[in-house]
Amino acid sequence: MLSVQDLHKSFGDIRALTGCTFQVDRGTMLGFLGPNGAGKTTAMRIVFRLLRAESGTVTWDGSPIEADDLIRFGYMPEQRGLYPKMRTLDQLTYLGRLHGMSKNEARAAAERWLERFGLGDRIGDPVESLSHGNQQRVQLAAALIHDPELLVLDEPFSGLDPIAVETMSDVLREQAASGKAVMFSSHQLDLVEDLCEEVAIINQGSVVVNGRVQTLKDAAPIRHLELELEGDPSILVDSLEGVQETRTDGDRLTAIIRAETDVRGFIARAQQAGKLRHFSYTTPSLSDLFREAVR
């Protein structure tokens, strides 16, 4: 388990981290969310000892992370970086060897990943000749080549086309399913909601929300209600308790209501008002939680 406790870090007058705390268990995928400049990259860099925190601890399975532990981890930095002129296969083999693999192991793993990403016919080409999306795939392969126990990816989905997003998602799911601890940062909240069981939302240097996505949603003080009838739904609004926000759009009504509101009576009234075509009562989306958290 990766455990980050109460990290503090400043750059001059800028306070990048002000008590950042979160955990990533083996076998889970954590979505690391936050507005630009919230401190996501800084926290990730501290995990990899690229930056030194002023205070706080970072542990893996209970012991502080030392330089020697790093070869068991995989990192994909936000600023992608590969040797532009080096051949793709050589490049991945080299990075595998830096992580302690033998030449044959590294080469076999590099070939396997490139094959998996559909780059089997490009292994001899220099990285600079690949498209942006393919370079990103190679970058991911570079983080995965040595079968790391912990995978940390900074904005892995940015700039990818839908097909590449699909591949990337599949790989991350597999990694988590096979017992790895996986964390990644992203601004694509729908994607995070789809992929991650857990999220940590960081704002102005500290984690403000952290936990299982479902638990966080259940614990949210609001619910979303949506209905559509044949007839005017606006007459129903007054009979709804605990309303925070409503909007009617033709025969469609959407409302944000307090979580404790009992909607059973409301459904009955709605059925009397007209034929009910659609009704939903849901916990808020991750986007709602995010907006609430960073407000």
Footprint on this chain of another protein (rule: CB under 8 A): 45, 48-52, 67-68, 70-71, 73, 75, 77, 79-86, 90, 94-95, 97-100, 139, 142
Q: How far is the CB of 53 from another protein (least distance, A)?
A: 9
Asked if 175 and 144 touch (Cβ cutoff 8 Å), the reply is yes
Residue placing its CB nearer to another protein in the complex, 58 or 208: 58
Residue placing its CB nearer to another protein in the complex, 98 or 177: 98
Residue placing its CB nearer to another protein in the complex, 50 or 177: 50
Asked if 8 and 42 touch (Cβ cutoff 8 Å), the reply is no
CA–CA gap between residue 120 and residue 112 (Å, rounded): 8
Q: How far is the CB of 178 from another protein (least distance, A)?
A: 21
Q: How far is the CB of 84 from another protein (least distance, A)?
A: 6
Q: How far is the CB of 70 from another protein (least distance, A)?
A: 5
Question: What is the amino acid identity at position 90?
Answer: D
The upper half-sphere exposure of residue 248, i.e. CA atoms within 13 Å in the direction of its Cβ, equals 12
Asked if 17 and 9 touch (Cβ cutoff 8 Å), the reply is yes
User: What does the block give as tokens for 106?
Assistant: 């590294």
Residue placing its CB nearer to another protein in the complex, 86 or 108: 86
Residue placing its CB nearer to another protein in the complex, 36 or 272: 36
Q: What angle do CA 268, 272, 276 make, to 5 degrees?
A: 80
Backbone angles phi, psi at 76, to 5 degrees: -120, 105
Q: How far is the CB of 171 from another protein (least distance, A)?
A: 18
Helix (H/G/I), strand (E/B), else coil: 103: helix
